[in-house]
Amino acid sequence: MQVKALIAATLFSLFPGASHATNLMYMPFETVLSDALRAGRIDGSVKFYLAGNGPQGTQQLLRRDVISDLGTNGFNKSDRDACEWVLQSNLIKLQADAKRVGANAVTNIVSYYDQHVRKDLNTYECRVGIFVARVALKGDLVRLP
């Protein structure tokens, strides 16, 4: 394990831009959400809604503009697999954040890479570099009836 870390550190020092995102991808949100539910990575107790697809009716806002900005090791993964994995990691984190404050939904989810908002009804933004894939999301934690 220490050898791998040493190799990675050496590569990062030789190629300082290697960890930066070089490939921008727009991926289907619902597909990955369904996969995470089916695999048991999220439990379904918290619902997720991209901005513009939110539930109708009353909502109790508990936390506005909660950010999840995670990356994953992209080494030895396809760009698509890395993007799907890192979105699932973000969903797991947002589910935990929601449960911590008593929310049962995350609404108004937007891509938030480098603090730039990108709204889309169907996709999320993923940035993939040589070694790292990253997804940043921002949304509101709410309590639905």
Domains of the chain, CATH where assigned: 19-143 (3.30.110.70)
Query: What is the rounded CA–CA span in Å between residue 119 and residue 139?
Result: 11
Which amino acid, one-letter code, is at 84?
E
**What's the angle, vertex CA 35, arms to CA 31 and CA 36, rounded to 5?**
120
Q: Which two tokens stand for residue 30?
A: 């619902």
- The pLDDT tens digits of the residues spanning 3-51 come to 444 454 444 444 444 445 579 999 999 999 999 999 999 999 999 999 9
Burial 10-31 (b: 16+ CB within 10 A, else e): eeeeeeeeebebeeebebebee
CB atoms within 10 A of CB 138: 20
pTM over 0.75: yes
Residue 110: band (very low, low, confident or very high) from pLDDT cuts 50, 70, 90:
very high
Residue tagged 């921002």 (tokens): 138
- Rounded to the nearest 10 degrees, the angle between the axes of helix 29-39 and helix 79-101 is 70
pLDDT value at 1 more than 80:
no
Instruction: Give me the mean pLDDT over the 49-76 stretch.
Output: 95
Query: What is the rounded CA–CA span in Å between residue 18 and residue 13?
Result: 9
CB atoms within 10 A of CB 114: 9
